Amino acid sequence: MNDFVKNRARSAIFNLKPYFPGKPIEEVKRELGLDNVIKLASNENPLGPSPLAQKAVASAVNQLHFYPDSNCYELKRKLSQKYDQPVDTVLVGNGSDEILKLIAETFLNPGDEVILPQPTFSEYQFSATVMDGVCLSVPLRDFTLDLPAMLEAITQRTKILFICNPNNPTGTIVTQEQLDRFMEEIPDHVLVVFDEAYSEYADSNDFISGLKYLQQGKNVVVCHTFSKIYGLAALRIGYAFTTVEIADAVKRVTEPFNVNLLAQKAAFAALDDSEHLQASRELNWQGKEYLYQQFDAMGLKYVPTQANFIFLDTGKDCRQVFQRLLQLGVIVRTGDIFGYPTYLRVTVGTAEENTRFIHSLQSVLESLS
């Protein structure tokens, strides 16, 4: 046996759990011999990318021989204007995943503590573990982040605390009032990272962006992405706002040219496409209402969502439900990876996709009863 990797690789990498992405449509077609497959597994925009972004990509393809702007100048300027934040506080990354990893690389020494909700988006734990950080998971309360318990979990060793708002996979938000109280209590030595990947879908008056606390001078990072409502997941681009000092520090560990040309052009154009944004929001709202009605009629419990996905209790073994849905050409996400073995997370799709999902789910649940 060759023990080279076992003996020479950093021990932290053996603590990493593999990431299970939503199954790609082509893979399911290939493996199951299906030709009509829908994916409601990764919270992508069912309307596709903004038409303006598509045009921008098409007109940039003859510049692929040039390195992209390493500083993302035009895009940062536009983001800075749109959100009314100084341009030198904007970070752009190869997906917000990269930004999350850069934050961990900037701040974490081995043994430093990171606080995260449980369940939540897996990238927080991944990025902390890569850096040999120690993760403290704080269980949700009523499917919602338990901010008082997260405060309790803070020690002198705590470096970063993650707030996913709305939270993935539950779709719940923490309210402005809860956050105000929390941010008043948060000790100065803790960096609070807000991940607001789904904030554009939140329609509750109680939702507040972490930008509020950045403006108050707190040490926070507020992450956003072009992968969800903007429909640009394939291009890998996300952005964040923070303090000038934190931005400078994060830039030190950032690779040059981390964001490709097509992503920069598409993102810039997508920010102007308010029509696409509004249509996406409305479609999601209608889809949400339809799914709630159907779940109610079927007697299924679900968590009301502020995002573009719903966490739903099938009452059955979710792996079985998942497999049978797959055979009907419907890809969703199972709840077992989040610690909920009877739950599914389903992305709100087009009206047609939602109907197909419901009909498929009905027949699967009948077949299992």
Say if strands 158-164 and 191-195 run parallel, antiparallel, or are unpaired: parallel
Stretch that binds ligand PLP, among 220-228, 242-250, 322-330, 359-367 (CB under 6 A): 220-228
Please, which residue, 167 or 354, has the CB nearer to ligand PLP?
Answer: 167
Q: Which of 107, 121, 162, 230 binds ligand PLP (CB under 6 A)?
A: 121
Total number of residues shown for the chain = 369
Q: Report if residue 195 touches ligand PLP, rule: CB under 6 A.
A: yes
- 168 interacts with ligand PLP by CB under 6 A: yes
Residue 116 or 328: the one with the smaller Cβ distance to ligand PLP is: 116
Among 45, 127, 209, 225, binds ligand PLP (CB under 6 A): 225
State yes or no: residue 210 binds ligand PLP (CB under 6 A).
no
Does 199 bind ligand PLP (CB under 6 A)? Our answer is no
Give 164 or 348: the residue with its C-beta nearer to ligand PLP.
Answer: 164
Q: How many CA atoms lie within 13 A of 105 on its CB side?
A: 14
CA angle 125–75–161, rounded 5-degree value: 20
Strands 343-347 and 309-313: antiparallel
How far apart (Å, rounded) are the C-alpha atoms in residues 359 and 367? 12
User: In the complex with ligand PLP, which residue's Cβ is closer, 276 or 324?
Assistant: 276
Could you say which of 52, 92, 140, 197 contacts ligand PLP (CB under 6 A)? 197
Residues numbered 269 to 328 that lie near ligand PLP (CB under 6 A) are none
User: What is the C-alpha separation between 111 and 7, in angstroms, rounded?
Assistant: 21
Total number of residues that touch ligand PLP (CB under 6 A): 14
Footprint of ligand PLP on residues 40-99 (CB under 6 A)? Answer: 43, 95-97
Beta-carbon contacts of 177 under 8 Å, excluding residues fewer than 6 positions away, are: 206
Is the separation of the CB atoms in 262 and 256 below 8 Å? no
Residue 61 burial (C-beta neighbours within 10 Å; 0-12, 13-18, 19+)? exposed
Tokens describing residue 148: 């008082």
Chain positions contacting ligand PLP, by CB under 6 A: 43, 95-97, 121, 164, 168, 195, 197, 225, 227-228, 233, 238
